[in-house]
């Protein structure tokens, strides 16, 4: 399973991939993550690189270790990832996008309709 590219260091890509799996509920709280050996084989990367990615997630409280058993998704990990990513999403993506939309003279009604469509609600 080769999904990594050259844009970022590999351990950061793996870390982000694990976070994405938690966000998308492929990995749930208190669920075991694959072992370092299995991940290294699956992603075709050095086990030390995998260990670095997992260690960073442990340091952030996203994962935790059970001695002799393995690593698990921490309680509240998904909420923590959402919290950590929300501020950067707003400042780095949403605000510039909304400023650009205003520059293009897209109306607030158009944007609200689009938001409601994406969120699955009908605009009233």
CATH topology of domain 10-75: Arc Repressor Mutant, subunit A (1.10.10)
What is the dihedral sign for C-alpha 57, 60, 62, 67?
Answer: positive
How is the chain split into domains, by residue range?
10-75, 78-119
DSSP three-state, residue 61: coil
d(CA 25, CA 66): 21
Q: Positive or negative, the Cα torsion across 112, 114, 115, 121?
A: positive
- pTM of the full structure: 0.76
Encode pLDDT of 70-102 as tens digits. 999 999 999 999 999 998 999 999 999 999 999
* pLDDT bracket for residue 123 (50, 70, 90): very low
């Amino acid at each position: 399973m080769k999904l990594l590219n050259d844009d970022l260091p590999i351990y950061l890509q793996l870390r982000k991939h694990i976070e994405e799996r938690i966000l998308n509920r492929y990995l749930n709280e208190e669920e075991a993550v694959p072992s370092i050996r299995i991940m290294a084989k699956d992603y075709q990367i050095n086990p030390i690189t995998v260990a670095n990615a997992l260690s960073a997630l442990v340091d952030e409280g996203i994962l935790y270790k059970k001695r002799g058993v393995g690593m698990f998704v921490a309680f509240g990990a998904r909420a923590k990832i959402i919290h950590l990513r929300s501020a950067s999403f707003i400042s780095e993506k949403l605000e510039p996008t909304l400023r650009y939309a205003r520059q293009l003279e897209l109306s607030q009604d158009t944007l609200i309709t689009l938001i409601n469509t994406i969120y699955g609600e009908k605009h009233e």
